[in-house]
Structure 1
Amino acid sequence: MATALLHGDIDAAFGRVHPPLPARLAHRRVRLEPVDAVLSKDHPLAAEPALQPDQLRDSTLWAPGALDRLDFLHQFADRFGIQNTATSVNLGVAHFLAQVAGEPRSFSLVPADVPLPEVPGLRSVPLVNPTPLYAWSLLWCTGNGHPKLNGFAATCAEEAG
């Protein structure tokens, strides 16, 4: 995404900002999105109405790629003492969630507001106390002359509150 912005292939993008940001890029946080834990219906905590993140300490965090390349999941594991992790090849969300559903001691994190595909044996449980928030930002190149970019950024900021 940063490369496409810097090359002028796109005018703006939504994503997670990882420092250091290239000098020509600017960003504005536009959403803090809560995440839920998704786990197998056979997971020992699957029947809980909500979970505190540290309750997952003895479970395996399943990631759709190398954890060192997935900043949010990596930080979650570090912050809440998740020692066991597993990774897979990202072949799409349905495939990924089916893998999680098939492992009774594993879990992953998904945006709370996104409808999940129908995956048998999967349960989504809200995380509370604290509720982890995924930060989405609008990114653009400074000095971008697109006539609608300023209005778009203002609308995003207004919607974000």
Structure 2
Amino acid sequence: MDLDLDLALVRSFVVTAEEMHFRRAAERIGITQQAISQRVRRLESQLGAALFHRGPRSVELTDAGQRFLGPARDVLAAARAAAEAVRPPVPHPLRVDVVDGRLAPLHLVRALLEEDPALPVNLSMRQALHASLPALVRGEIDCAFGRVHPDAGIPPEATSRLVRLEPVCALLPRTHPLADRDRLTMADLRQTGIWMPHYGQESEWNAFVRQLAEEFGLSLTLSGPALSEEHFVELLWEHGEMACPGGADVSYSYSPDIRCLPLVEPRPVYPWSLVWLRQHRHPLVQRMIGLARAAATEWLACDPSRDWLPGPDRALLGVFEGTPG
């Protein structure tokens, strides 16, 4: 029996099988949970077999679903190959995940575009490196920024390069007792304590701040998520005399109520790396690496006597033994 399978339905099934969760699958595709559930049911109707066991909080593949998954992936791969075969021979845009549009990685992308404003670049913002690595392996993006360390889960087919050591600053409301200082020390933070917004799942930044707090004996408080810049300012006021760690490359000029003070004794630095697949490197990846190398004196400045990185980062990157390669 011949079936005219709808590729959108097949992809919805494959993504749900990979996520084992309808909501996460819907977010990955960019549709609603109701829409992806309807797509899967339409596919099951066409095939005449249930593909998932649906529980109140989870889903599992049925025997039929397990048998269908491999061929379904082959169908999608064949469709991609067929489309590529007839596309005009122009380079596809550099698809890069910058974590968030306010953070340090965007500075490197901007430098690339300032060099050649006509370059085709598509940005995504998955909020953490661990969220972008599966997309990198699937070929949905060409590279991703994030904190690379021994426990980052970098796949063996990927490689990375350190591109930025971003100083960490302390964010305070303008009425804070220490807001008139020109810098704060770790000893100051032991007196005030620190806080940070938490978004329901651990990120590389969350882990970094936790390690910072543990290393220097800082009291750490987690708030709910900051839903907007205005909401962040409200949370800053609510947390009284505590300081919020932030990246020095981020602009806080949207609010006159925020004081951004450098941290010293020691100066924490957050390591940003660019990650890509060894065998499928987009030509523009090399150009970004070149820009980072040219700016290394400023972007990778590190003094072992005054700067701090968590142990896993030091061990992997060799920052305290010389300039990273």
| TM-score bucket of the superposed structures, by smaller chain | 0.7 to 0.9
Per the alignment, do residues 105 and 95 of structure 1 end up closer, same or farther by CA in structure 2, a change over 3 Å counting?
same
Change (3 A) 1:24 1:56: same
Structure number with higher strand proportion: 1
Does the 8 Å contact 1:60/1:86 carry over to 2?
no
Q: Aligned residues: percent identity?
A: 36
1:7 aligns with 2:138: yes
Letter of the 2:178 partner, please give it: L
Instruction: Report the structure, 1 or 2, having the larger helix content.
Output: 2
Looking at structure 2, the residues matched to 87 and 67 of structure 1 have their Cα atoms a distance apart, in angstroms, of: 13
2:173 is aligned with 1:37:
no
Quote the offset at 1:117 in angstroms.
4.1
Relative contact order, higher structure (CA 8 A, sep 6+): 1
- Alignment partner of 1:139 out of 275, 279, 287: 275
TM-score, length of structure 1 as denominator length: 0.85
**2:242 matched to which residue of 1?**
106
State the 4+ residue runs in structure 1 displaced beyond 6 angstroms. Answer: none
> C-alpha root-mean-square deviation of aligned residues, in Å?
2.2
- Structure 1's unaligned 5+ residue stretches are none
Structure 1, 142-151 or 37-46: larger mean CA deviation = 142-151
Among 217, 227, 231, the alignment partner of 1:95 is 231
SS of the residue corresponding to residue 132 of structure 1 reads strand
CA distance in 1, matches of 2:294, 2:180: 38
TM-score, normalising length: structure 2: 0.45
Q: What is the aligned length?
A: 161
CA 93–157 in structure 1, closer or farther in 2 if over 3 Å, else same: farther
Give, in whole Å, the separation in 2 of the partners of 1:125 and 1:152: 30
Q: Distance in 2 between matches of 1:62 and 1:22?
A: 32
Larger radius of gyration: 2
CA contact (8 A) 1:38 1:109 kept: yes
Q: Does structure 1 conserve the Cα–Cα contact (< 8 Å) formed by 2:162 and 2:274?
A: yes
For the residues of structure 2 that align with 1:93 and 1:76, how far apart are their CA atoms? 24
SS at match of 1:106: coil
For structure 2, the residue ranges without an aligned partner over 5 or more in a row are: 1-131, 298-325
**C-alpha deviations, 1:117-161, integer Å up to 9, x for none?**
433532111112211111111111121143443343333333334
Deviation readout 1:6-57 (Å, 9 max, x if unpaired): 1111111221114332222211101111121001223232222211123111
Q: 1:39 to 1:15 in 2, by over 3 A?
A: same
Q: Which shifted more, 132-141 or 106-115?
A: 106-115
Looking at structure 2, the residues matched to 128 and 68 of structure 1 have their Cα atoms a distance apart, in angstroms, of 26
Cα deviation, residue 92, structure 1? 3.3
